[in-house]
Amino acid sequence: MLKNWYAIYVNVRHEKKVVVTLREQNIEAYSPVAKKQQQWSDRKKWIEFPMLSGYVFVRIELEDKEKVLLNPSVFSFIKFGGVEAKIKKEDIETLKSVEKTGYDITTEVKGLKINDEVEILQGFLKGYKGVLVQFGNEDYVQIELLSLKQNVTVKVPKNILRIN
């Protein structure tokens, strides 16, 4: 059988722990992380947080799903129409590219207004197309991963975008 990527629901804030446990069982697992600068009264610090809170991706043959579900922090596989949703390899690669960019990443932004389709001209996401969204005085590229039905919003410099 062929191995495919699947998304699983896990306890929030257990993403790293689930990845480590699954890897110890020789199961390929991935949870994209982002870095965000946190401000305290006396200092600033960069912290890592899950890009998609409550999700972990596993690359398995479907008959091995019981091994994944035995982990106490795993709830279930994401299903569409009662069938485990296969995640495109390209979507996993996109998440890995977003993770490598070092751009400021936001997973929850309220009041987004969708505008023009854009293409990124530089950096790790070069050639990637998304939707330009304005939030305050800054521009964002909203990348929708269709197979996951989730949005990942990446803050990129305005000058590396071209409107299609």
The per-residue pLDDT for range 12-36, each reduced to its tens digit, is: 889 999 999 999 999 999 998 877 7
| pLDDT value for 105 | 55
| pLDDT value for 23 | 96
Identify the burial level of 2 via C-beta atoms within 10 angstroms of its C-beta, where 0-12 means exposed, 13-18 middle and 19 or more buried. exposed
DSSP state of 106: E
pLDDT tier, 108 (very low <50, low <70, confident <90, very high otherwise): very low
pTM of the full structure: 0.69
Answer yes or no: CATH 1.10.150.240 is held by domain 4-87: no
Query: Residue 79 is which amino acid?
Result: K
- Distance, CA of 139 to CA of 93 (rounded, Å): 23
Q: Where are the domains of the chain?
A: 4-87, 105-163
Task: Find the mean pLDDT for residues 102-127.
Answer: 60
Tokens 């043959």 locate to 61
Q: For the domain bounded by 105-163, which CATH number is listed?
A: 2.30.30
- Distance, CA of 34 to CA of 72 (rounded, Å): 25
**Spatial CA neighbour of 13 closest among 55, 45, 47:** 55
pLDDT tens-digit map of 75-106: 999 988 888 989 988 888 888 887 877 655 55
Cβ atoms of 128 and 142 within 8 Å: the answer is no
pLDDT tier, 123 (very low <50, low <70, confident <90, very high otherwise): confident
